[in-house]
Amino acid sequence: MLNIIKKQLEPVSDAERVAYKVIAILRESHFDAFTVGGSVRDRMLDKIPYDVDVATNARPQDIQNIFNKTIPVGISFGVVIVMLDSVQVEVATFRDDGQYQDGRHPREIMFSNAERDAQRRDFTINALFYDPCSKTIRDYVDGLSDLDNKKIKAIGDPHQRFNEDYLRMLRAIRFTAHLDFELDSATFTAIKNNASKIMQISVERIFSELNKILTGYNADIAFLLLDKTNLLHYVLPEIENLKGVKQPPEFHPEGDVWVHTLMMLKSLNQPSSELAWGTLLHDIGKPPTFTFNKNGRESFPSHAKVGAQMTNKILKRFRCSNEFIESVNTLVYYHMSFGDVKNMKQSTLRRMLARKTFSTELELHRIDCLNSHKKLDNYFFLQTKVKEFENESPVPKPLLSGHDIIKLGIPEGKRIGILLKNLEECQLNREINSRDEALEWLSLRINQQKLTKN
């Protein structure tokens, strides 16, 4: 049943302003047109939409004829990008989908009307249409009521909605967590019953959705729901294995590794992807390394190293870029080293500060401490070190090169590399501070080695 309410939504972003302009032009050509989906939902929740889609009864060819600059990105599905005022607006023709063949794509589409278009969408709160000309919202699926009641509910039969696109199950979790809504019981049951089918979705799409979950709001709530719906078992079984893994209470009074990880996720505030995945995976190596030490306490020897190996495997499974994998691996591999920073040699400490991931590593350490023993002395110690080197590089430019060593009579080979590494160690420890001192050190070292040989 159609519900129309009066609502004036003045544009609050460039995307929305241009979308309204596109609608006005379509109306001048005697077509119906509305903003639709997430942008309408967000405006009703007093959020600023940055992606604004338009739905219309104009056919793709009509849209291309009306606007000067268009991109037929999904013309077989009735989708055309309109370029206007240097902004891209996705304009889609009202459609009805036929049978789905692969849990993602319909075998065929039929152009239809706004009501049919609303009924093919995923969740009721994402199927609202706004008409900026009449300043009204058109609701065919009781989405306004679900917005008021803070409920995520699939349109129509939830089993059918998810069998059309299994990724919608992860989207349901994401919307529930990010909006701090409740997941409708029938929708929850349908997800749980269809959870295994998520594996029919490409790993790239699954990663993209998980990344949105982790870098948005309430990632801890999302992962609790992933667990309760059985989706976690299929998309990240390694995280499921964190449950019930006990930790020494003197270091982790909060509970097991699962509880600790959830608490850390809760501490995140729209983090970078690297920090988000580093947080999720930092203790992934604890279940396989769990043992008891000689005092009978829980222990996880080399869990950071094992965790980095597992991280590499997980992110490769998701076909992430090598650069991203390397960054997250670094976070996981080094996260335990922060506990020993006060005892590190100056050279080791400076190399730590020079890592390109250091600022993210430091934030991971802070979150880790706050959600366990709450001791931040090492964190503050490192902050002072960062300030100490704010006007110079933690790892300065080498004072000598391999050519300098060769000029002193040392032949090319491994020995040159060893000498340069030893020299760098002295430089980082501030035992050598100039080129002249470096040459003096090198000459002395070479002479000592000659005497040893003789």
Give the torsion sign (CA, 372, 378, 384, 388): negative
pLDDT of residue 449: 62
pLDDT of residue 98: 56
Q: What percent of the chain has pLDDT over 90?
A: 76
The backbone region for 86, taken as left when phi is positive above 0, alpha when psi lies in -120 to 50, beta otherwise, is left
Give the torsion sign (CA, 291, 295, 297, 301): negative
Residue 450 has pLDDT above 70, yes or no: no
pLDDT of residue 348: 87
Rounded average pLDDT over 150-165 = 96
Q: Using an 8 Å Cβ cutoff, are 58 and 29 in contact?
A: yes
pLDDT of residue 417: 74
pLDDT of residue 436: 75
Q: Which helix (H) or strand (E) holds 3?
A: strand 3-6
Q: What sections of 67-218 are H helices per DSSP?
A: 114-119, 143-148, 158-164, 167-178, 185-194, 203-215
Residue 108 has pLDDT above 80, yes or no: no
Q: Which helix (H) or strand (E) holds 73?
A: strand 70-74
Q: What percent of the chain has pLDDT over 70?
A: 94
Please tell me which residue, 345 or 66, carries the higher pLDDT value.
66
Please tell me which residue, 96 or 332, carries the higher pLDDT value.
332
The structural domains of the chain, ordered by start, are 3-149 (3.30.460.10), 157-235 (1.10.110.30), 250-395 (1.10.3210), 402-453 (no CATH)
pLDDT of residue 100: 60
The backbone region for 123, taken as left when phi is positive above 0, alpha when psi lies in -120 to 50, beta otherwise, is beta
Residue 394 has pLDDT above 80, yes or no: no
pTM as predicted: 0.86
List the end-to-end C-alpha distance of the chain, in Å, as a whole number.
99
pLDDT of residue 408: 67
Residue 454 has pLDDT above 70, yes or no: no
Tens of pLDDT along 52-64? 999 999 999 999 9
Q: Using an 8 Å Cβ cutoff, are 106 and 100 in contact?
A: yes
Mean pLDDT computed over every residue of the chain: 91
Tens of pLDDT along 295-352? 889 999 999 999 999 999 999 999 999 999 999 999 999 999 999 999 998 888 988 9
Q: CA-CA distance, 116 to 157, in Å (whole number)?
A: 15
Residue 103 has pLDDT above 60, yes or no: no
Assign 107 a pLDDT band (cuts: 50, 70, 90): low
Tens of pLDDT along 251-310? 999 999 999 999 999 999 999 999 999 999 999 999 999 999 988 899 999 999 999 999
Rounded average pLDDT over 145-154 = 98
Q: Using an 8 Å Cβ cutoff, are 282 and 274 in contact?
A: no
Residue 96 has pLDDT above 80, yes or no: yes
b/e 328-337 (16+ beta carbons within 10 angstroms → b): bbbbbbbbbe
Q: CA-CA distance, 285 to 162, in Å (whole number)?
A: 33
Assign 36 a pLDDT band (cuts: 50, 70, 90): very high
Q: Using an 8 Å Cβ cutoff, are 52 and 16 in contact?
A: yes
Coil vs helix vs strand at 427: helix
> Which DSSP state fits 396?
P
